[in-house]
Amino acid sequence: MSLRAKIMLSTVIFMVLVVGLLTLNVYYDVAWRENLERRRRTEFLERLVNDVVSQSLSAPEPDWKTVEGFLQRSTLMKGWVVVGEGSEVLVTNESDAGSLVALERGELNKAREKFVSTVKGDVVFVPIVRNEKVYAGRFRLAPGRFPPFEAG
């Protein structure tokens, strides 16, 4: 192999490595930004839900009918289930709320006991704190109101 061919081969290999590293860097940057945006949307929804509950509830004991009325007028969410202690359904507009609570008990318990908000597709699980009591909410987002969440 001539010296010229060796130089050309090493130059091509170097360029392929540089392009590969740049591509990998762009991939990680996009993944990081998507994760950051997902967390921001989750935090926004958590604050929104807690603000709705706080504004709707001024009495020491929650008036869930007021919260339900506000959620029904809202265009951000198309489905919700709010549970209290022992996974007792307090407010819902889901027809199969009992089976939803049974299927997603782990996420609801994590929201209520560990104060962790999570997103699964277009469903957000958030803790709701009111008067030193902690509830958990499962909210299904209305289509077109937010860019789609990625699962994760």
- Examine the pLDDT at 151 and tell me if it is beyond 50: no
Query: In terms of pTM, does the model score above 0.85?
Result: no
Query: Of the candidates 119, 47, 126, 39, which has an alpha carbon nearest to the alpha carbon of residue 82?
Result: 126
- Say if CB 134 and CB 128 are below 8 A apart: yes
- Please tell me the distance from the alpha carbon of residue 108 to that of residue 10, in angstroms, as a whole number: 56
pLDDT confidence band for 152 (50 / 70 / 90): very low
Note the pLDDT tens digit of each residue in 19-70: 999 999 999 999 999 888 877 877 787 787 777 666 666 666 667 787 888 8
Query: Of the candidates 135, 130, 39, which has an alpha carbon nearest to the alpha carbon of residue 81?
Result: 135
